[in-house]
Amino acid sequence: MADLAPNLLLIMADQMAACALPVYGHQLVKAPTIEALAADGVVFDNAYCNSPLCAPSRFSMLAGQLPSRIGAYDNAAEFASSVPTLAHYLRAMGYHTCLGGKMHFIGADQLHGYEERLTTDIYPADFGWTPNWDEPAHRYSWYHNMLSVVEAGVYARTIQLDFDDEVAFRGVQKIYDLGRKRDGQPFFLTLSFTQPHDPYITTQTYWDHYDHEAIDLPSVGPIPVDRQDSHSRRILELSGINQYRITQEHVRNARHAYYGMISYVDDQVGKVLAALKAAELADNTIIIITADHGDMLGERGMWYKMSFFESSARVPFIVYAPNRFKSRRVAKNISLVDLLPTLMALAAGQQKSPEPVVPVDGHSLLPLLAGDESNWPDLVFGEYMAEGTTAPCFMVKRGPHKYIHCRTDVPQLFDLDDDPKELNNLAGQSSHAAVERSLAETVGRWDAEEITTHVVQSQRRRLFTFQSLMQGQVTPWDFQPQRDTSKQYTRNYEAIDDADRRARIPYRAAPTPDVSAD
């Protein structure tokens, strides 16, 4: 199989924290399908998003470039059609490219290199969620609030379930259609689920996967708002942390439902894998499991993302290709911008992969997948330029040290080997002066003042444009799936036996008539 162009299947879950998966040490959460992939795959223990927010993280991942380079500032920043994505590159390399589920594209281009989309998106494609740094104290009606925690629990149906059920169904059907093609063209299929993103709601079935009394509480309890670091304090205030009294039972309910949603996603992954096997595509398909960011899940009294703490910024990253790579765990730091050059290298196989047409910030993970860690830079970068700040926040992680810098805030430095809960800020301590100085110099790669100017200008343009487009006749940019059913079932342009036969997996030619029987 190694000499064939591999099929590539990227499976994403929204807001799925690495620390909440059994693969990364959680003792309670049940995700046996993902565990099985990890057991025979390559597990990256220190994978990070490049922005702890949905749209910027996804745009950056697809482009292989840090958010500030492509204007991916927040959840309403337009993803420019001129930015080459991994879907463009793979399509140019001969791949069929297809997207199902959430990708949170903003703007009129809702494909970005994908030839087709199987579903609409769950979130709006317009500029309505644009933050405003000109009004830093403003609270947004569309922003996370604590109702997600207060109302956490069991519901029979939700928008998330409707959406993810469709993603799984359409994804499975697409895999069967790919198995029927039999033309040898490799595919790149992205299936992106919206769970376990808040609100923290699951069905009774998945709630019952867990003993409620056994649900673990955060390892670090609530820190009073006035004792939080300034960025965390702004995020808490923006989410209305004091609007409701958050009880221990609220926290337990939210975590319980979150775990249920992970088990749900795991079951959907199982359906997709079963379809791959049935369609006879499994042996030559490389599977990547990841997420756009994590979730604080009540750690330090914080929820959702928008933070560079581990629960928010660290993501699962698993590559399953047992015919190509031996199972192993990799401790080196990687980030989502590494996905583009990695998939290009995998698609190229024994040939040299083409050079990207613009500089990318990621590196191919192929050496790490093959067990060679000798030249890996072990350095990742993160940016945050959305609501909850009025200046760009930067994160650098090298080895065990994480450095967070924003010109409006006190810098933070953590040694995650000694302090995995990030409770001891080493910035300013003489014992770590050399490490801090080195990482601070690395932050010099950014021009914070120039980025701030670009962010504010972009916000002002988008806020005006959105208000204008909401007047008169509104023309949504949201993707509208179009389905051609003219060849889906039995039609009279072909014999009924032929229509049935072409849809069978495995395909078998019709038996030769026995003329002696006449």
54 is a catalytic site residue: yes
Query: Nearest 5°: phi and psi at 220?
Result: -120, 115
Is-cis flag, bond preceding 420, omega within 30? no
User: Active site residue: 19, 54, 393, 406, which one?
Assistant: 54
8 A C-beta contact, residue 185 and residue 231: no
What 3 state SS string does 11-70 have? EEECCCCHHHCHHHCCCCCCCHHHHHHHHCCEEEEEEECCCCCHHHHHHHHHHCCCHHHH
Q: Name the residue among 320, 301, 323 with its Cα closest to residue 246.
A: 301
How many Cα atoms sit within 13 Å of 238 on the Cβ side? 26
**Nearby residues of 517 by Cβ (< 8 Å), 6 or more positions away:** none
8 A C-beta contact, residue 21 and residue 32: no
User: Active site residue: 49, 88, 96, 104, which one?
Assistant: 104
88 is a catalytic site residue: no
Residue with tokens 């990621």: 362
In 415-447, which ranges are continuous DSSP H helix?
433-443
8 A C-beta contact, residue 413 and residue 372: no
In 93-247, which ranges are continuous DSSP H helix?
147-150, 159-181, 204-207, 230-238
Q: Name the residue among 248, 228, 239 with its Cα closest to residue 143.
A: 239
Residues identified as active-site: 54, 104
